[in-house]
Structure 1
Amino acid sequence: MHEITPQEQEQLLTLMRRHRKRLMAYPNVRAVDVGFALKQQRPSDRLAIRVHVNRKLPTSDLADAERLPEEIDGLPVDVIESNPVPDAEFRHSRQDPVLGGISIGNVKVGGPGTLGSIVFERGTLRPLALTNWHVVVASPPVAMDPIVQPQPVPPDPEPPNSFLGRLLRWDEGLDAALCSIGEQDGTRSRSVSTRIADLPLPAAGSKPHTIGLRVVKSGLRTGVTNGIIDGTDGLEFSVVVDNGLPPPQGVLGGPGDSGSLWLDRDTFTAVGLHFASITDPEVRAWGHSISAICDKLNVFVLNDVAIGTPWIGGHCRVLAQTRANAVCNLRVVYPSGRTSRASGLGQALADAQGLVRWQWRIGTSTGRRPGMKLNAFVTLDGTEHLVTTELEGTPDVTQ
């Protein structure tokens, strides 16, 4: 092996990013990176795009559509079998930034569950933590109960600085609950990430679940497990073992996994919130519809770009997910064709988690009325996205 220059590495990463989404769509793929190809299980001196799979299968066992390319744009493709054991210490320790797949709880309730994912409040774009109702809601329910991360495992004492936020909203029927990140006044807060522990990509939006969908989750107890949705009543669905990717521990869930997010294994789109599992007479798990949960609790799972409520005389926010530290830009255009020059727009830099935010004030001109469309052109790492919304509020008619 030899050390490459930063310029060479960036060229490799640029090539990888161009093809990563396509490569991740192949079955059994866990991650894609660039590095030295393996030869006899040891790194060689040959650089390659490396596709990490949970299990490496003989080419003869794969259909043509399942076979990865041997090279891309002149760079070899190396397929590496890698199924890392989840780092339990990481999941059970205090995390900042806060991410999915880690310990969360309410000391009044008992043992810990899983923080499924960071989600965002519709309108305000405020980050919130999503988990199960039975993980963080005491009996009787108490709004503003303190929620901790990590949740201590009895008889261990509560670790220092474990306060995560306050219990805000819940729905017992859907077994879902939300807590703030920090206090309501912004103190005692932590940074957030849309990543989920031990998964290669963050959740990418949400969609309805469907029978036959291959799914994956990342839970506190059993780590990463794969399955197939085999039935649903519209709100609740069940998951059985995918024999092509059997769970490492032989189960789809266990105590502590409650609150995990079930995701489409190919697209990482969220489809449900895990709440129960069994091992006898068969291995099976259950989840509730993430679409129903998001509608009930007034939140969403971020996918690329989101825009908040644009209040006339108030503020509007845009939130986006991209590459860490990427240079981004926001341009706002009104129906008249005029581009806004408000302070807060323009170039911004994504944080270390790949999140980028803008906030600007919308004036009270009589030309701005409720229902007027606002077009936000968001450029993320060179790719432009358009999000459209409508103004709300009341213009200043005294002008």
Structure 2
Amino acid sequence: MDVIEAKQVLSALYLPQSLRGGVVERVTTMSVDEAVAGARQNVHAIGVGYKMVNGSPAQDAGLVVRIHVVQKIAPSLLPPRDRIPEQIDGVPTDIIESAPAFAIAKASAATSIAASACTGRRREAQRPLVAGISTAHQDITAGTLGYFCRSLRHGDDPRMIYILSNNHVLANVNMGAPDDRIYQPGPADGGDPTSHVANLVRYKTIDLSGAPNKVDCAIASLVPGIEWRPEICSVGRVAGITAATVGMAVCKHGRTSGFTQGSVTDINYDALIGMDHSNPSVVALFQDQIRIESPNMTAFGLGGDSGSLVVEEAKMRAVGLYFAGPPSGQYGVANQVSDVLNELEIAFVDGAEDAAIA
């Protein structure tokens, strides 16, 4: 059994139990009895990465299955049936304590480490549009404009320019309808009918029944006459796509936290994600995602950063679409960019090709 197969086995074993047990509502407790009683509903995500040894990834030891729990519990306190195995068919495991993630589009305050003009105005109206700034469906608060794209779907106008973001940013978690208005900035940042820049075209429905999802994504067509530039604020133009690898250095620019950097800690990451911060019972299972952490425990993303495009720093290739994280921003979760493009039947604009029309 290889590490991916081992992850799939453990994911199928633990995540359904945790979903039924309401894991995204769980918090750490000082009560040993409470912790032990909830041990079977403690796992909220399972991925593939490096084992943590003394706070650092042990790269020389190879990849392991990383089991993310709300609270670590000493094995000696647990009955044998509730203990997470140290290995499965020879594949080692590692237990990571972290809070469950939520897909959050809302107003939130944060300080960016980048100081470009577009960053300073990322919650304001910007024309021409760039990616990495505030946008949202007319009926929600605020998220982030991910990037610009064209449709590959038969029958669509190949000249039309679309903006990409999350379903929960542009389509209000499956509630949006074609031609709904998209504002820039989003309503939480003062967006109103005069801020209308695009119309919702399509999105991938998020299954909230417990069946697996791969993406949280949507596109909207630009209103004629809206100027745009094929670049991400403080990041630049995207130069194609690539698959994330463990340890890859990445960055993003979002509406709330601005420009942030991190590294990929988990690939093939399966997670239970809260889809409504005010109602933790609304949960979706996402499979084969990317987990990212920033250095020094700073936030990689916060509420309102949803929809940011995650880019490989070394070669400026897109790797993922950020959509969730814990309220602290301790880590972020992103869809694989190839899945987003395939599900929506789109391709990113080519920076060199499209610069003249920006």
Alignment of 1:111 with 2:141, yes or no, is yes
Alignment of 1:166 with 2:199, yes or no, is yes
Q: Which whole-Å CA distance do the structure 2 matches of 1:304 and 1:136 have between them?
A: 24
Alignment of 1:91 with 2:122, yes or no, is yes
- Scaled by the length of structure 1, the TM-score of the pair is 0.50
Q: CA contact under 8 A between 1:241 and 1:283: conserved in structure 2?
A: yes
Q: CA contact under 8 A between 2:237 and 2:351: conserved in structure 1?
A: no
Q: Structure 1's 135 and 83: CA in aligned 2 closer, same or farther, altered over 3 A? A: closer
Q: Structure 1's 299 and 227: CA in aligned 2 closer, same or farther, altered over 3 A? A: same
Q: Which position in structure 1 is the counterpart of 2:311? A: 263
Describe the SS at the equivalent of 1:189.
coil
1:253 aligned to 289, 297, 301, which one?
A: 301
Alignment of 1:240 with 2:293, yes or no, is yes
- 5+ residue gaps, structure 2: 1-112, 207-212, 270-287
Deviation at 1:227, TM superposition (A): 0.6
Deviation at 1:84, TM superposition (A): 2.5
Matches within 5 A, 1:86-235: 90-108=121-139, 110-122=140-152, 124-138=158-172, 139-153=174-188, 156=190, 158-159=191-192, 161-171=194-204, 172=206, 173=213, 174-182=215-223, 188-199=224-235, 201-233=236-268, 235=288
AA in 2 matched with 1:264: E
Q: Structure 1's 214 and 89: CA in aligned 2 closer, same or farther, altered over 3 A? A: closer
Describe the SS at the equivalent of 2:325.
strand
Deviations 1:139-163 (A, max 9, x none): 5331221111111217x5x445211
Q: Which whole-Å CA distance do the structure 2 matches of 1:161 and 1:275 have between them?
A: 27
Q: Which whole-Å CA distance do the structure 2 matches of 1:198 and 1:204 have between them?
A: 15
1:291 aligned to 315, 327, 338, which one?
A: 338
Deviations 1:189-236 (A, max 9, x none): 31221111122x211111222222110000000001101111121731
Q: Which whole-Å CA distance do the structure 2 matches of 1:144 and 1:301 have between them?
A: 21
Q: Which position in structure 2 is the counterpart of 1:64? A: none
More strand per residue: 1 or 2?
1
More helix per residue: 1 or 2?
2
Q: Which one has a bigger Cα radius of gyration?
A: 1
Describe the SS at the equivalent of 2:241.
coil
Deviation at 1:125, TM superposition (A): 4.2
Describe the SS at the equivalent of 2:121.
helix
Matches within 5 A, 1:227-376: 227-233=262-268, 235-242=288-295, 250-278=298-326, 283-303=330-350, 320-321=353-354, 350-351=356-357, 353=358
Matches within 5 A, 1:67-78: none
Superposition RMSD in Å: 2.5
Structure with the bigger RCO (C-alpha within 8 Å, sep 6+) is 2
Q: Structure 1's 223 and 83: CA in aligned 2 closer, same or farther, altered over 3 A? A: closer
- Scaled by the length of structure 2, the TM-score of the pair is 0.55
Q: CA contact under 8 A between 2:138 and 2:180: conserved in structure 1?
A: no
AA in 2 matched with 1:128: Y
Q: Structure 1's 94 and 206: CA in aligned 2 closer, same or farther, altered over 3 A? A: same
Q: Structure 1's 161 and 122: CA in aligned 2 closer, same or farther, altered over 3 A? A: same
Deviations 1:50-109 (A, max 9, x none): xxxxxxxxxxxxxxxxxxxxxxxxxxxxxxxx952775652122222221011111122x
AA in 2 matched with 1:262: V
Describe the SS at the equivalent of 2:126.
coil
Describe the SS at the equivalent of 1:198.
coil
Q: Which position in structure 1 is the counterpart of 2:57? A: none
- 5+ residue gaps, structure 1: 1-81, 183-187, 306-319, 325-349, 354-399
Q: Which whole-Å CA distance do the structure 2 matches of 1:88 and 1:191 have between them?
A: 18
Q: Structure 1's 177 and 301: CA in aligned 2 closer, same or farther, altered over 3 A? A: same
Q: Which whole-Å CA distance do the structure 1 matches of 2:121 and 2:199 have between them?
A: 23
Q: Which whole-Å CA distance do the structure 2 matches of 1:152 and 1:279 have between them?
A: 21
Q: Which whole-Å CA distance do the structure 2 matches of 1:140 and 1:83 have between them?
A: 34
Q: CA contact under 8 A between 2:114 and 2:259: conserved in structure 1?
A: no
Q: Which whole-Å CA distance do the structure 2 matches of 1:130 and 1:104 have between them?
A: 10
AA in 2 matched with 1:135: V
Give the fraction of aligned pairs with identical amino acids, expressed as a percent: 26
Q: CA contact under 8 A between 2:291 and 2:333: conserved in structure 1?
A: yes
Q: CA contact under 8 A between 1:204 and 1:301: conserved in structure 2?
A: no
Describe the SS at the equivalent of 2:339.
helix
Describe the SS at the equivalent of 1:278.
coil
AA in 2 matched with 1:269: R
